[in-house]
Amino acid sequence: MTNPNASPTTKPRRGRPPGRPHAQPDGADQRSRLIEIALGLFARYGYAATTLAAIARAAGMTPAAVHYYFKTREQLFDEIHQAHISPMRERVEAIFHEHKTDPVSAFVKVAERFVEVADEHAWIAPVFFGDLLTESDALRKHMHQKKNPKEQAAFHERIHQWQREGLLNPGLDPALVMPSIMSLTMLFMAARRKWKDDPLRKDIDREAIRRHAVALLGHGLGPVKA
């Protein structure tokens, strides 16, 4: 129905068709850019403090534009998990297959791998340890959905078996072994940023952390026996 008050020259406004937000880069390059920005924010602030709105600000985009590519922060992290965390877990599992009868060597190799990963990806430690150091459990809830309880139980039973066979210290708690190795490696790699003004630790580098973890895991705190 025609508006009787409208000017003869007035043209009806045409709404923007639904879809990609106007004037925003499109395609895989933009998705990759947003993921890289998110990883940088994860490294600085952790997972819980990095919202889609924060990613949008850092990218110079509107929240609606970011929402076009990732509906939720969890969806964005799913891509990160598939691209980085899943391959890391597969490599760790491969190390245990390679050293089925020598779990000490396996855990030492895993520690070395964790140092490499933490060096390559500065966001890893803040993401994995953020929930332990803050009140937030946002990541823990999300990661819980990706864990396979049967695989976890099987790994713990494998540790118990190594202990029964005399290949591992019987005092170890299977549920704490991997978190302990991550703390010896990834957590220390992240802590280096805080040690710049520490006279005792300012010169600790990747190699020092690797060497320390290997020595502690391979020989414990006692002297190396000839």
Q: For position 9, what pLDDT does the model report?
A: 47
Answer for the pair 38, 50: CB distance below 8 angstroms, yes or no.
yes
Confidence band of 2 (pLDDT split at 50, 70, 90): very low
Q: For position 85, what pLDDT does the model report?
A: 87
Has residue 136 got a pLDDT over 50?
yes
Whether the predicted model's global pTM rises above the 0.85 cut: no
Given phi > 0 = left and psi -120 to 50 = alpha, else beta, which region is 24? beta
Longest dimension (CA), the chain: 101
Give the separation between CA 190 and CA 195, rounded to whole angstroms: 10
Q: What does the pLDDT look like over 170-206, one tens digit per residue? A: 999 999 999 999 999 999 998 888 898 999 999 999 9
Query: Mean pLDDT, to the nearest integer, of 114-135?
Result: 82
Fold of 84-219: Tetracycline Repressor; domain 2 (1.10.357)
Burial bucket for residue 120 (CB in 10 Å: 0-12, 13-18, 19+):
exposed
Domain extent listing, the chain: 84-219
Q: What does the pLDDT look like over 145-163, one tens digit per residue? A: 777 788 889 999 999 999 9
Has residue 6 got a pLDDT over 80?
no
